[in-house]
Amino acid sequence: MNAPQTNATPGGSQFVDSSLSALAIILGGGAGTRLFPLTKLRAKPAVPLAGRYRLIDVPVSNCINSGITRVFVLTQFNSASLNRHISQAYRFDRFSNGFVSILAAEQTPASKDWFQGTADAVRRVIPHVDGYRHDYTLILSGDQLYSMDYREMIRHHEETGADVTIGTIPVTSDDAPAFGILKTDADHTITEFHEKPSADKLDGKESPVSQDLEDQGRVYLASMGIYIFSRDVLRDLLESNVEHHDFGKQIIPEAIEGKKVVSYPFTGYWSDIGTIRSFYDANLMLAEPNPEFDLYDPDRPLYTNARMLPPAKIESSFVQQSLIAEGSVVVNSQVSKSVIGIRSFVGHNTTIKNAIFMGADHYPWQKPENRGYVEGPAKPGIGEESYVEGAIIDKNVSIGKRCIIKNRDNIEEAEHENFYIRDGIVVIPKNTQIPDDTII
């Protein structure tokens, strides 16, 4: 097999020409129960991020910024809004070969079931993928926040002569039990895999890392769920054990036994947006003065649907360490350490602290007969003299006047008619209407 062409950058480094050597498959995930109620009406990758993006924009943007413009997104649960977003956001030049294509679970003569797991999903779409020339298949998750140049990972795959390359991130012993832990030798070759080992069984599972990481105690390599497979290797692994439905639990351990599987160590920011708490923390991190993930990097932009909305309007308000998306209006209010999404309306003398507002699909003053999207209350936004702290307010929510939304009793988990508490965070589901003077 001929090696892909490389292009020299002005700095002299060589990058793999990934436009034809690799294509990407992004896994849309299952029902997303740990992110419920944000996944009550949408797939995990369709959950809004940073007020104007969606989680799916992260891996798609990483692909585009890495020169990988042939991307398949596998969907199954609550996929309507995800499909709509992708069709609106990613339209490539007709003179290029690029595309972002949805592949939904389908009945075929070979199978009448839905996807049974990550590996089963990829196995069943291989006939659609094989029509495109490629040497490597990049498999990604649709619910993570990070910035990575996949060309460097492909180059590492080639230089090590790997059959499979797994993106890994160094973690401490406190974090290791939450991940699949990979043990490597000095040449990055993976020799062992341990699925979420308990804290008392971590001895001997350390891997060689830099002195700086060792000093931080980050000596355990956690799988990021990011894989590169050489084309024929992927098909061999998927076809040899058709009863194996999951990459992390079955395919990867099998590959370690009979193939050359190497680690691609990644030390940048990475967050698995798998729970309400991780979603909440990642969003508020983005509003910090110097966040670990840079939304403002001109060389690695985060792409999304271009909505053509007006700038945000802030009237006589105090705003501190917050993101306020386009189309929003904040009137004589206080907003601190929060994320305010598109078309949000914040009424007079309202206070918002450590909160996420996902915005709305229309303005509260827009006449119903002029709206293209009709779900949700007539007037989304938050009314005057209300107080919101430590909460996630989903899209198209209407909060009345003089409301108080705060987990004052520090409850960890709860369910009520108009709200949920998850990981101590109050979550108001999409399209909910909270009456005036409500106290939560």
> What DSSP line would sit under 204-265, residue for residue?
T------HHHHHTT--EEEEEEEEEEEHHHHHHHHHH-TT---IIIIIHHHHHHHS-EEEEE
246 and 325 assigned to the same domain: no
User: How many structural domains does the chain have?
Assistant: 2
**CATH number for the domain including 20?**
3.90.550.10
- Let me know whether 55 and 163 are in one domain: yes
Judge whether residue 33 has pLDDT over 80.
yes
39: DSSP letter: T
Domain CATH for 319: 2.160.10.10
Residue 399 corresponds to which tokens in the numbers above? 């909060």
pLDDT tier for residue 9 given thresholds of 50, 70 and 90: very low
pLDDT at 125: 86
H/E segment holding residue 87 = helix 80-89
Share of the chain above pLDDT 70, in %: 92
Is residue 21 domain-resident?
yes
> Is the same domain home to 357 and 266?
no
The pLDDT score that the predictor gives to residue 15 is 57
Whether residue 177 lies inside any domain: the answer is yes
Identify the domain boundary among 250, 270, 286: 286
Task: Classify the C-alpha dihedral 12-60-359-47 as positive or negative.
Answer: negative
What is the per-residue DSSP string for 135-163?
SEEEEEESSEEE---HHHHHHHHHHTT-S
* Reported confidence tier of residue 150, pLDDT bands at 50, 70, 90: very high
Q: What mean pLDDT is predicted for residues 10-21?
A: 58
What does pTM read for this prediction? 0.91
Rounded mean pLDDT, 106-118: 59
pLDDT reading at 13 higher than 50 = no
Answer yes or no: do 119 and 181 share one domain: yes
What are 385-430's pLDDT values in tens digits? Answer: 999 999 999 999 999 999 999 999 999 999 999 999 999 999 999 9
Return the half-sphere exposure (C-beta side, CA atoms, 13 A cut-off) of residue 212. Answer: 1
Rounded to the nearest integer, the mean pLDDT of the chain is 90
The pLDDT tens digits of the residues spanning 307-354 come to 999 999 999 999 999 999 999 999 999 999 999 999 999 999 999 999
Task: Please report which confidence band the pLDDT of residue 260 belongs to, taking 50, 70 and 90 as the band edges.
Answer: very high
Q: Is the pLDDT of residue 1 over 50?
A: no
What confidence score (pLDDT) does residue 151 get? Answer: 96
Three-class SS of residue 405?
strand
Q: Is the domain of 321 the same as that of 209?
A: no
Residue 19's pLDDT band, with cuts at 50, 70 and 90, is low
Residue 1 lies in a domain: no
Would you say residue 22 lies in a domain?
Answer: yes
pLDDT at 94: 79
* Structure confidence at residue 370 (pLDDT): 81
Predicted confidence at residue 16, as pLDDT, reads: 65
User: What are the beta bridge partners of residue 339?
Assistant: 323, 356
Residue 49's nearest CA partner among 291, 231, 254 is: 291
Residue 11 in this model has a pLDDT that exceeds 90: no
Bigger pLDDT: 16 or 88? 88
Report pLDDT for 250: 86
Q: Rounded CA gap, 143 and 59, in Å? A: 8
The confidence score (pLDDT) of residue 10 equals 36
Q: Write down the pLDDT at residue 69.
A: 94
pLDDT of residue 386: 98
Given a cut of 60, whether residue 263 has pLDDT beyond it is yes
Does any domain span residue 305? no
Whether residue 336 sits in one domain with residue 278: no
Q: Is the pLDDT of residue 32 over 80?
A: no
Residues 163-207 pLDDT 10s: 999 999 999 999 999 999 999 998 999 999 998 999 999 999 999
Q: CA 228, CA 166: separation in Å to the nearest integer?
A: 7
Note whether residue 36 is domain-resident. Answer: yes
Predicted local confidence at residue 8, as pLDDT? 37
- Predicted confidence (pLDDT) per residue in 36-45, tens digit: 999 998 989 9
For residues 302 and 308, is the Cβ–Cβ distance under 8 A?
no
Question: Does the pLDDT at position 93 exceed 90?
Answer: no
Pick from 55-64, 101-110, 229-238, 411-420: least confident: 101-110
Residues 38 and 187 in one domain: yes
Is residue 440 in a domain?
Answer: no
Same-domain check for residues 48 and 154: yes
pLDDT category, 111, cuts 50, 70, 90? low
Instruction: Determine phi and psi for 141, rounding to 5 degrees.
Output: -95, 150
Confidence check: pLDDT of 273 > 80: yes
Quote the domain boundaries for residue 347. 313-434
Considering 286, 301, 324, which residue would you say is the last residue of a domain?
Answer: 286
Q: In this structure, what DSSP letter does residue 189 have?
A: B
| The pLDDT value given to residue 30 | 66
pLDDT of residue 324: 98
Residue 277 sits in the same domain as residue 327: no
Whether 221 is covered by a domain: the verdict is: yes
> How high is the pLDDT of residue 115?
60
Q: Return the pLDDT at 12.
A: 39
Do 420 and 375 fall into the same domain?
Answer: yes
Query: Are 70 and 145 contained in the same domain?
Result: yes
At 27 the three-state DSSP class reads strand
Q: Are residues 338 and 231 in the same domain?
A: no
Task: Assign 3-class secondary structure to 364-388.
Answer: CCCCHHHCCCCCCCCCCEECCCCEE
pLDDT interval class at 29 (50, 70, 90): confident
What percentage of the chain has pLDDT greater than the value 90? 74
The residue among 251, 271, 286 that closes a domain is: 286
Q: How high is the pLDDT of residue 60?
A: 97
